Amino acid sequence: MSQVKEDLYQNGLQRQYSGKAEAAAFLLGGIGTGNVSIGSRGDFRDWEIFNHPGKGATLPNTYFSIFAQAEGEEPVVKVLESKLNPPYTRAHGYPPGTAAGLPRMEKSTLRGEYPFVSVQFEDKDLPVDVKLEAFTPFVPLNPDDSGIPGAYITYKVTNTTSVPVKVSIAGSIINPIGATFDQIGNLQIQKCSQNSNLFKQESELSGLILQSTKFEETEREYGNIALTTTNPHTTYKRAWLRGAWFDHLHEFWDDFSENGMLTDLQYDTPANDEATDTGTLGVYETVLPGETKEMNFMLTWYFPNRLNGWSEWIKVKEEGRELIKNYYTNHFDSAWAVAQYLVNNKERLTKKSQSFQQALFNSSLPYYVIDAIASNITVLRSTTCFWLKDGRFLGYEGCQDDWGCCDGNCTHVWNYAQTLAFLFPTLEQNMRETEFLEETTDDGKMNFRAMQMFDSQWMFGSNPAEAAADGQMGTIMRVYREWKLTGDDEFLRRVWPAMKNSLKYALLQWDTDDDLVFDGKQHNTYDIEFYGPNPLTGVFFLGALRAAEEIAKYLGEEETANIYRTVFEKSAKRLEELTWNGEYYIQQLDDVDQYKYQHGMGCLSDQLLGQQLAHLFGLGYLLPEEHVKKAVYSIYKYNFKEDFSKHANPQRTYVLNDEKGLLLCSWPNGGRPKLPFVYSDEVWTGIEYHVATHLIYEGFIEEGLTIVKAVRDRHDGIRRNPWNEVECGHHYARSMSSWGVLIALSGFEFDMTRNEIKFNPRINQDDFTTFWSTGKAWGTYTQKKNINGEWDTAVKVLYGDAAGITVHACGKKWTIE
Amino acid sequence: MSQVKEDLYQNGLQRQYSGKAEAAAFLLGGIGTGNVSIGSRGDFRDWEIFNHPGKGATLPNTYFSIFAQAEGEEPVVKVLESKLNPPYTRAHGYPPGTAAGLPRMEKSTLRGEYPFVSVQFEDKDLPVDVKLEAFTPFVPLNPDDSGIPGAYITYKVTNTTSVPVKVSIAGSIINPIGATFDQIGNLQIQKCSQNSNLFKQESELSGLILQSTKFEETEREYGNIALTTTNPHTTYKRAWLRGAWFDHLHEFWDDFSENGMLTDLQYDTPANDEATDTGTLGVYETVLPGETKEMNFMLTWYFPNRLNGWSEWIKVKEEGRELIKNYYTNHFDSAWAVAQYLVNNKERLTKKSQSFQQALFNSSLPYYVIDAIASNITVLRSTTCFWLKDGRFLGYEGCQDDWGCCDGNCTHVWNYAQTLAFLFPTLEQNMRETEFLEETTDDGKMNFRAMQMFDSQWMFGSNPAEAAADGQMGTIMRVYREWKLTGDDEFLRRVWPAMKNSLKYALLQWDTDDDLVFDGKQHNTYDIEFYGPNPLTGVFFLGALRAAEEIAKYLGEEETANIYRTVFEKSAKRLEELTWNGEYYIQQLDDVDQYKYQHGMGCLSDQLLGQQLAHLFGLGYLLPEEHVKKAVYSIYKYNFKEDFSKHANPQRTYVLNDEKGLLLCSWPNGGRPKLPFVYSDEVWTGIEYHVATHLIYEGFIEEGLTIVKAVRDRHDGIRRNPWNEVECGHHYARSMSSWGVLIALSGFEFDMTRNEIKFNPRINQDDFTTFWSTGKAWGTYTQKKNINGEWDTAVKVLYGDAAGITVHACGKKWTIE
């Protein structure tokens, strides 16, 4: 095996990111809460806690600082961020709000194993070693405890000298209530009014509450932020000097630098209108030689009211209903209450979060595969998703810098995503219910962007948009997944009638010549329409039929099942005849330029997406295994490029220069349309992962791993954020297809309707551990070949109730007690 | 001499900037015309031709491309830019307008010797070597020929193979008429209407004219752009495909890639409203092995109408007078006419521009000194300055990204600037006339921001702003400079009465205790007021008195001269008594915290600014030479920092981390105010250069050079743009103090009232060449010690009429014929 190939199987350490890797930003924040990110310099960036995205949104004056004085020495005072990186090209230098002129740490190294992040600082001037650790609780199958609007932020300080060191760590934060951000993320405080910061202490919790008395609880601007601590020795300044010019920072820095203690300036009125205050909470300790002390902070927020809609254009317009509350308001009524919950449940939330992190990161998968799987969890905890008070879970496709981008749980994009279904199946079920119970008409047309909940509908011009063939069929397959993961018959019965209508609609709408293969005008995930028989929608139809057949059987609708079976068989046969070219499946068109934006003879990376889902969900082969294998290998052969320097792509560019990636399409046998379908020259991580997953299923392990590694190599913190795979927006939902790689590599099968799970790992079989999850429980599975050549196997349940589940692995079978 | 010190004297090659040095952007464009910059990747960026700054303003689809096909080989087609640099973190990848997905050049290297720039491309795929050369004519003493709205852009193509190569080079540019830019510089075309591109040919000139028939010639949006060539073999596409999605780029790239020829799509109507067209002009040649061919392009523009004011708030409000025309409209009526002028005068404009560039860059000054002197010429050809049809020359302090920043020929900022005065003295005289003839009241108060020309006045709240003590006194000194540089008595007589009033006002306003030293409330360049005796304004007053004394004598006003002499002597003596602390000059205040923002015992870098100007202008010592020497050395000793890592600056940050720079102030003997004057912790290049100049005058050559080198080392293309020194805005006027370093190093003295110039170089005396200029002529001066130990000297006049000027140098004296 070559070195390159061997590397592919490495279960090594996760990457780390120096302070120069400024693209790296690790998201804190829960499901439906918004986020703040920790950058590789240890900086708090991208403030997205205000119910909309905020890439680049900065809060001035907002950072932690350290005062450290070794006995008998001068104090050293620094901002707890490593040095700013070039370029330094602002029109007016760095303003004081950036603290760019203050001394800061020499170096930093960020490490992230979701949901945990750490930043190790280095600085030769300081008499202490400082490490930042932070996380927002994350417990699969427990969305509520994974949806807390806040984070634990701990600074661990170790005395590296031989004398006692007096240490203060002070967190400063500007009060942003009522403020907005401009296009480049600068805070605009013109609408701030009556902002004030309180200091509060209540049993072991103390800290600052940032609030405004201007806004009513029912206003969108209403909210508060708490910066709190459980450390006993605190010092604080509720508001920096309200002066002219740079007085505020002068006074704060001189005050803190003197002895690490803060003087409260005793303002007894709120800040002026069009102004706001910055507050600082400090914690101090004497640290003995060799000793490590923890400075425990919590940052929590409470912005209950969000726009009752997808956007200003697509929202509830009825007066008094323009706003809607976040789910987290079911549990909390203030940022302080969130902090109290974090304090009261710290041990449990920490342990459960660690269980998950360890189960995933200590598994036998290659390090970059774990990275791909774990990093895209962030999508469901990013502003791409939101979660309403009534339990409704919603997702954009991704995010603009400042607003969600492409509305409506888009069926054809979310088709690819697996992460949410495997970790929080109840939320994924909620999406299916929205689709089938609200967005599917009686004649079976499913709006591929869900908007009824906001009294709206997705339009193309002045008409309701057409259905999306791939999205509509994929959604049927995904009901099958949700059902098999949870065994939730009630859920299944609720959506089943609409599913049947949906299949009826599909045949009427898209099979215009009654050969049971789609050939009409087929809108799809490329935002255009395919015409004629083609593998993307054709295979999806087969997958939907198989899923429906199984469900019909289960529900005792034998006749229906038989019809689906018959249609499936005919359709599959016909699709083969029409689209198999000996190497892969093509679109059948007499003249590829008859319509704009077709693929024709092109080798489409998505041609077997439906088949990949069928594998993941346990539906087996939809087309002849031999052809499927050949086709998926052809995709790799023709579409994976080792270097993009010579690739001419007039579309959007996600991969460039000497990077590697998988094209959406190529034309190895010619026949490229004059204007091939939009996106054909692009590279999407969501497609790369599902092709990788599929390659692994078909036995092309190295090819699959090669693709995964290429994706993650591109997200190296210098070029792109490892925790943000972009397509049409940040944290793009499609990237959650990466979870499929875990399922394929572990050979995990699940059927909660029969209480069965199976493992059949495809790599490192002799000593293999993996994370697994169903709607009932999650944990680890381990198999090892012992010295007698026999298999030692173990399933560990780390959360939930798996009692009665039968495990099949290594030719054995046992039931969890 | 140590290596470090030896390096300081190096007359080496200018720096060059790889494509990774993305901060580097070389400005094309003339005086008062706006600019477009060439970036280090060979990209055209920062479109500032629309009568306002545009840092970051991008024109989509706007780049040159090359098609090159060696006989018998496949063609190679690339964008003529080197590769894009990370990060690649946009929310939606790169849109097609960036052409990020097209193949481009492997590497590039930018070199700039103002006004000439070149970009050498490297690419192993191409059968030719390609170099871009560009410049906008620049001829000191000829502002009109230095104020042409356009540039020559030449691609030199050398065949590096052994077979003929067919080469096309095509320049594409979007028609931006009527468009605007958003905050991040993206073009917004919602207001575009009736845009169309014409192809025109007229004798040897042919090319595209980008225009709109929507706007009247009197509207602010009115204007046109021409991309032209004098090469005979042209091909063009007036408009890219007007399609959906990415059709435009698909069609253009496929068309050009096929054979290097362009197909015009024959649209016979303008673009739709809210849309615009991109046009492409190509030039093709067959290049034989070893042969080099030039593809000569010109980019010219004509946007005649600008806001009749400094800003939307400070402008002429009378209906019908809201707009005013640019100076260049005196010579041109269209971008096509500009191109014609460039064609018709190419040889002359090129030669004169080269004369200047060679005179400056082939001089004996250290390479980084030349760099500092030459690079800041860009200020007067940037959007910091503008030039109106009536000849009025105006300057902001600098520029925001999208608008001028700080209005009004600000006297206290322009105090430091030398470049304009020495290269275009008539424009500098115009500024003095504005100040004295329009902005000085009868009682002698000078508004330090000129706004009368726009029917406005600079206010602090609801009152006219106070005068600036440093600005008002410096302006008097600068009249002296303008007069001595030009010998223009008429100019002198015009402004002289107001100058006398100004001095009267100064004594009444700022000397409250009649000891002839300023001690009142003294507004100054730090945007705050000093109180009490202080060196900044005190020395400026001395300089103004000396200048006035000399002028009065010259004009035969002996009595006035005597009064100024007497006041000078008493004031100087008293200032010494009040402010000399044995090491440097301090501010005399009983309680430094009595007023906010003082410097007190601090060592102010600007304490001898007036003295520096006195040296530059030939006014001699204003204070005891010994103290001046000691003080200027103290400034270096206390304020120059080799490393800013530990410097705590709560103000704006221009220098950071391990960079070197000169602080505005420090408190070596304690006494730092609680809130020291704003800007005290900052570093401004304009001050660094004047202190460097002064150090050189006082014999501290190495210290002066060390400062200059520190500034330029910070502007390395990675961290900052070498052609843009920022303070409160881009291209900050104060940075033009760098020209003083040339005057000091060459020991240049000038007195056109007596037709005398003198040289007394302070470095490399044995073999020394320098550029020199007065209001009458410019050229070079050379001195060499020959083998007999005697001086060979030569003055070369390269422009203007120097006949009759007497030269003093090397103990010799001769008259130019």
Same domain, A228 and A299: yes
The amino acid occupying position B697 is: Y
Residue A183 lies in a domain: yes
Residue A130 lies in a domain: yes
Range A226-245 average pLDDT: 98
- The set of long-range contacts for A779-786, using a CB threshold of 8 Å and a minimum separation of 24, is A779/A359, A780/A359, A780/A363, A781/A746, A781/A807, A781/A809, A783/A759, A783/A809, A783/A810
Q: Yes or no: say if A68 and B704 are a contact pair by the CB < 8 Å rule.
A: no
Q: How far is A525 from chain B (nearest CA, A)?
A: 15
Distance in Å, alpha carbon of A114 to nearest chain B alpha carbon: 21
Chain A hits for B251, CB-CB cut-off 8 Å, are 675
**How confident is the prediction for chain B on average, in pLDDT?**
97
Judged by CB atoms closer than 8 Å, whether chains meet at B648 and A730 is answered as no
Residues of chain A contacting residue B247, judged by C-beta atoms under 8 Å apart: 675
Is the CB of residue A593 less than 8 Å away from at least one CB of chain B?
A: no
ipTM of the complex: 0.96
Which residues lie below 8 Å from residue B492, measured CB to CB, with a gap of 6+? B479, B483, B551, B554, B555
Which residue, B579, B610, B631, sits at the end of a domain? B579
Half-sphere exposure of B225 (CA within 13 A, CB side): 30
Is residue A602 very low, low, confident or very high in pLDDT (cuts 50, 70, 90)? very high
Among A690, A667, A652, which Cα is nearest to A603's?
A667
If asked whether residues A321 and A433 sit together in one domain, one would say no
Pair B448, B429: CB distance under 8 Å:
no
pLDDT score, position A378? 98
Contact B652 A244 (CB under 8 A): no
B728 within domain boundaries:
no
| A430 shares a domain with A311 | no
| Whether residue B114 is found in the same domain as residue B192 | yes
Above 70 in pLDDT, residue A1?
no
Best of B649, B664, B720 to mutate (most A CBs within 10 Å, chain A): B649
Q: Is some CB atom of chain A closer than 8 A to the CB atom of B313?
A: no
What would the DSSP string read from start to end of B719-761? SS-TT---BSBBS-GGGGGGHHHHHHHHT-EEETTTTEEEE--
The predicted model gives A123-152 an average pLDDT of 98
Instruction: Report the SS3 class of residue A792.
Output: strand
Residue A239, SS3? coil
pLDDT exceeds 70 at position B1: no
What residues have CB less than 8 Å from A140, skipping those under 6 apart? A146, A356, A422, A423, A424, A773, A778, A799
Cross-strand bridge partners of residue A809: A759, A812
Residue of A nearest to B84 (CA): A657
The residues, any chain, with a CB within 8 Å of residue B618's CB and separated by 6 or more, are B484, B749, B750, B751
Residues B232 and B336 in one domain: yes
Q: How many CB pairs under 8 A join A and B?
A: 205
**Residue from the list A93, A682, A727 with its beta carbon closest to the beta carbon of B726:** A93
Q: CB contact, 8 Å: B245 with chain A?
A: yes
**Chain A residues with CB inside 8 Å of B185's CB?**
none
B546-575 tens-digit pLDDT: 999 999 999 999 999 999 999 999 999 999
Whether residue B764 contacts residue B443, with contact meaning beta carbons closer than 8 Å, is answered with no
The residue segments making up the domain with residue A541 are 411-579
How far, in Å, CA of B283 to CA of B281, rounded? 7
Residue A186 forms contact with B (CB below 8 Å): no
pLDDT of residue A5: 74
Nearest alpha carbon to residue B315 among B417, B243, B224, B388: B388
Query: Cα separation of B764 and B619, whole Å?
Result: 25
A309 and A215 in a common domain: yes
Q: Counting beta carbons within 10 angstroms of the beta carbon of residue B563, is it exposed (0 to 12), middle (13 to 18) or buried (19 or more)? A: middle
pLDDT tens per residue across span A259-294: 999 999 999 999 999 999 999 999 999 999 999 999
Q: Which of A196, A177, A206 is nearest to A297 (CA)?
A: A206
Question: What is the identity of the amino acid at B427?
Answer: L
Q: What residues of chain B, 13 to 42, have a C-beta less than 8 Å from chain A?
A: 22-23
CATH code, B200: 2.70.98
Q: For residue A394, give the H/E element and its range.
A: strand A393-395
What's the CATH code of the domain at A491? 1.50.10.10
Among the partner residues A399, A650, A654, nearest to B246 by beta-carbon distance: A650
- What average pLDDT does the structure give for chain A? 97
- pLDDT 10s digits, B592-620: 999 999 999 999 999 999 999 999 999 99
- A732 and chain B in contact, CB less than 8 A: no
* pLDDT for B2: 61
CA distance B670 to chain A (A): 15
Cis peptide before A115 (omega within 30 of 0): yes
Please provide the size of chain A in residues. 817
Number of residues assigned to chain B: 817
Structure confidence by residue, pLDDT tens digits, A57-93? 999 999 999 999 999 999 999 999 999 999 999 999 9
Helix (H) or strand (E) holding A692: helix A685-697
Q: Which member of B93, B254, B720 has the closest CB to residue A654?
A: B93
Q: Is B67 in the same domain as B176?
A: yes
Q: Which of B125, B243, B719 lies closest to A88 in CB terms?
A: B719
Domain end (from B579, B594, B628): B579
More reliable by pLDDT, B42 or A460: B42
Distances (CA, A) of A334 to A209, A222, A302: 10, 11, 5
CB contact under 8 A, A244 and B596: yes
pLDDT score recorded for residue A768: 97
- Number of domains composing chain A: 3
d(CA A310, CA A408): 7
DSSP, res A83: P
Chain A residue numbers with beta carbons less than 8 Å from the beta carbon of B654 are: 88, 93-94
What is the rounded CA–CA span in Å between residue B395 and residue B565? 33
Q: What is the DSSP string of A280-335?
A: EEEEEEEE-TT-EEEEEEEEEEE--EEESBSSSSSB--STT-SEEEBGGGGT-SSH
Two structure tokens written together for A653:
């560019």
Chain A (436-455) residues lying within 8 Å, Cβ to Cβ, of chain B: none
Residue A338 and residue A149 in contact, taking contact as beta carbons nearer than 8 Å: yes
| Residue A499 within any structural domain of the chain | yes
Structure confidence by residue, pLDDT tens digits, B370-416: 999 999 999 999 999 999 999 999 999 999 999 999 999 999 999 99
Q: Is residue A588 part of a domain?
A: no
Adjacent-strand bridge partners of B794: B782
pTM: 0.97
Residues B95, A596: C-beta atoms closer than 8 Å? no
Judge whether A736 is closer than 8 Å to chain B, CB to CB.
no
Of A55, A675, A730, the CB nearest to B247: A675
Report pLDDT for A3.
62
Same domain, A333 and A470: no
In a domain, B544, yes or no: yes
Q: Which residues of A touch B257 (CB under 8 A)?
A: 648
pLDDT in tens, A309-320: 999 999 999 999
Cβ of B652 within 8 Å of Cβ of A95? The answer is: yes
B614-670 pLDDT, tens digit per residue, is 999 999 999 999 999 999 999 999 999 999 999 999 999 999 999 999 999 999 999
| Cβ distance of A253 and B83 shorter than 8 Å | no
Strands (E), B329-429: 385-387, 393-395, 398-399, 404-405
Instruction: Assess B278–A contact: CB distance below 8 Å, yes or no.
Output: no
Task: State how far residue B86 is from chain A, nearest Cα, in angstroms.
Answer: 5
- Cβ-in-10-Å burial (0-12, 13-18, 19+) of A534 comes to buried
Question: pLDDT tens-digit profile of B146-174?
Answer: 999 999 999 999 999 999 999 999 999 99
Whole-angstrom CA distances from A6 to A364, A701, B688 are: 14, 12, 57
pLDDT in tens, B455-476: 999 998 899 999 999 999 999 9
Q: What is the pLDDT of residues A500-537, one digit of tens each?
A: 999 999 999 999 999 999 999 999 999 999 999 999 99
Q: Could you tell me the pLDDT band of residue B3, with boundaries at 50, 70 and 90?
A: low
Same domain? For B313 and B415 the reply is no
Q: What is the mean pLDDT of residues B135-151?
A: 98
**Predicted confidence band of residue A8 (pLDDT cuts 50, 70, 90):** confident
CB distance A87 to B720 below 8 Å: yes
Interatomic CA distance for residues B798 and B781, integer angstroms: 11
Q: Which residues, at least 6 apart from B520, have a Cβ–Cβ distance to it below 8 Å?
A: B509, B510, B511, B512, B531
Contact A370, A376 (CB under 8 A): no
Residue A721 at interface with chain B, using a CB cutoff of 8 Å: yes
Residues B234, B306 share a domain: yes
Same structural domain for residues A328 and A217? yes
B95 and B221 in a common domain: yes
Q: What is d(CA B751, CA B616) in angstroms, rounded to the nearest whole number? A: 12
Residue B498 lies in a domain: yes
Beta bridge partners of A459: A464
* Pairwise CB contact (< 8 Å): A243 & B675: yes
Tokens of B112: 């700039």
Q: Is the peptide bond before B87 cis (omega within 30 degrees of 0)?
A: yes
Percent of chain A as helix, strand, coil, to the nearest 5: 30, 25, 45
Residue A398 lies in a domain: no
Segment 643-682 of chain B within 8 Å of chain A by CB = 645-654, 656-657, 674-675, 678, 681-682
Q: Do A720 and B88 touch (CB under 8 A)?
A: yes
Q: Which among A295, A82, A65 is positioned nearest to A171, based on CA atoms? A: A65
Among the partner-chain residues B87, B125, B253, the one whose CB lies closest to the CB of A718 is B87
Distance from the Cα of B657 to chain A's closest Cα (Å) equals 7
Name the residue among A23, A257, A597 with its Cβ closest to that of B89.
Answer: A23
Contacts of A249 in chain B (CB under 8 A): 650-651
pLDDT in tens, A761-781: 999 999 999 999 999 999 999
* pLDDT for A336 beyond 90: yes
Domain end, chosen from B563, B579, B595, is at B579
Strands (E), B367-450: 385-387, 393-395, 398-399, 404-405
Q: How confident is the model at residue A577 (pLDDT cuts 50, 70, 90)?
A: very high
Distance from CA of B573 to the nearest CA of A (A): 35
Closest CA to B581 of B530, B630, B515: B630
* A101·B727 Cβ contact <8 A: no
- Give me the residue from B88, B253, B681 closest to A650, CB to CB: B253
